[in-house]
């Protein structure tokens, strides 16, 4: 989960989403992009929980806080899509890396076999026990690598057909029915009221001292 979270919350990703949906228009007029990105990170919540329908599986919940319900829905959908795509790419890259590694090992073993046969010739009953063992080990290694490579290719083909099976979207983002918590405007008003109250208290204290 940490890997997916860090990828989703990267500046490159968030800056793209900010520009695509025109987020934080007022803030962007007076703040730098780094501060805007950090504000968006604070408005995003990604949590993991046990899947009640599948033992041992995890469910990732993604949410985004916005003053506009439809914007919150669209941004959340984009963030969830990032996680799904990252998971798919990781699986494909891992499988392809395994196939390439096995191919390199297979070619190396094949070269060793060819060099061995050039040095000792075809297998005969008259060859020494040591030579026979070396030949057998090389042949067994080659067979094993060939089988593993074939298995890896089958897995790669299955992944291509079952793309997104590891992580997929269970519930599409919905438009919030009611606000959650205080909006930015409400927070600003609350700050102004708090500042006013503090100012009145200071004035009251000063007045008492002057008497």
pLDDT above 50 (res 114): yes
For the segment 5-11, the average pLDDT, to the nearest whole number, is 84
What one-character-per-residue DSSP string does 47-64 give?
EEEE-TTSTT-EEEEEEE
Q: Kindly report each contact of residues 110-119 with a partner whose C-beta sits within 8 Å and lies 24 or more positions away, as own/partner.
A: 110/142, 112/138, 113/138, 113/139, 113/142
Which residues form the domain of 167?
2-176
Q: For residue 179, what pLDDT band results from cuts at 50, 70 and 90?
A: low
Residue 81 lies in a domain: yes
Residue 184 lies in a domain: no
Q: Is 196 helix (H, G, I), strand (E, B) or coil?
A: helix
No. of H helices and E strands in the chain? 7, 2
What one-character-per-residue DSSP string does 103-150 give?
HHHHHHHHHHHHHHHHHH-S--TTS-HHHHHHHHHHHHHHHHHHHHHH
pLDDT above 80 (res 69): yes
| Lowest-confidence segment of 52-56, 71-75, 107-111 by average pLDDT | 52-56
Q: For residue 33, what pLDDT band results from cuts at 50, 70 and 90?
A: very high
What is the pLDDT, as a whole number, of residue 16? 93
pLDDT above 70 (res 34): yes
For the segment 149-154, the average pLDDT, to the nearest whole number, is 85
Nearest-angstrom CA–CA distance, 48 and 62: 9
What one-character-per-residue DSSP string does 75-87 give?
HHHHHHHHHHHHH
Q: For residue 86, what pLDDT band results from cuts at 50, 70 and 90?
A: confident
pLDDT above 60 (res 106): yes
Contact present, 172 and 77 (Cβ < 8 Å): yes
pTM: 0.52
What is the pLDDT, as a whole number, of residue 162? 53
Residue 6 lies in a domain: yes
Residue 211 lies in a domain: no
Q: For residue 183, what pLDDT band results from cuts at 50, 70 and 90?
A: low
Percent of the chain at pLDDT > 70 equals: 68
**DSSP summary character for residue 44:** E
The count of structural domains within the chain is: 1
Nearest-angstrom CA–CA distance, 136 and 168: 46
Nearest-angstrom CA–CA distance, 48 and 34: 27
- Mean pLDDT comparison of 49-58, 80-89, 90-99, 115-124, highest-scoring range: 115-124
In whole numbers, what is the pLDDT of the chain averaged over residues? 77
Residue 209 lies in a domain: no
Residue 111 lies in a domain: yes
In this structure, the chain runs to a length of: 211
b/e for 88-126, b at 16 or more Cβ within 10 A? beebeeebeebbeebeebbeebeeeeeeeeeeeeeeeee
Residue 33 lies in a domain: yes
Q: Is 32 helix (H, G, I), strand (E, B) or coil?
A: coil
Residue 205 lies in a domain: no
């Amino acid at each position: 989960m940490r890997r997916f979270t860090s990828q989703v919350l990267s500046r490159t990703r968030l800056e793209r989403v900010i520009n695509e949906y025109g987020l934080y228009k007022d803030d962007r007029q007076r703040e730098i992009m780094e501060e805007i990105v950090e504000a968006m990170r604070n408005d995003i919540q990604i949590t993991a929980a046990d899947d009640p329908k599948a033992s041992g599986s995890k469910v990732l919940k993604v949410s985004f806080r916005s003053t506009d319900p439809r914007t919150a829905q669209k941004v959340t959908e984009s963030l969830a899509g990032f996680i799904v795509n990252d998971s798919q790419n990781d699986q494909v890259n891992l499988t392809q890396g395994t196939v390439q590694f096995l191919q390199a090992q297979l070619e190396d073993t094949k070269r060793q076999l060819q060099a061995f046969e050039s040095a000792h010739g075809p297998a005969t009953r008259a060859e020494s026990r040591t030579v026979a063992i070396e030949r057998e080990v090389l042949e067994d290694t080659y067979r094993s690598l060939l089988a593993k490579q074939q298995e890896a290719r089958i897995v790669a083909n299955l992944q291509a057909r079952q793309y997104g099976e590891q992580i997929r979207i269970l519930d599409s983002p919905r438009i919030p029915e009611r606000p959650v918590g205080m909006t930015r405007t409400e927070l600003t008003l609350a700050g102004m009221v708090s500042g006013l109250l503090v100012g009145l208290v200071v004035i009251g204290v000063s007045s008492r001292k002057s008497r």
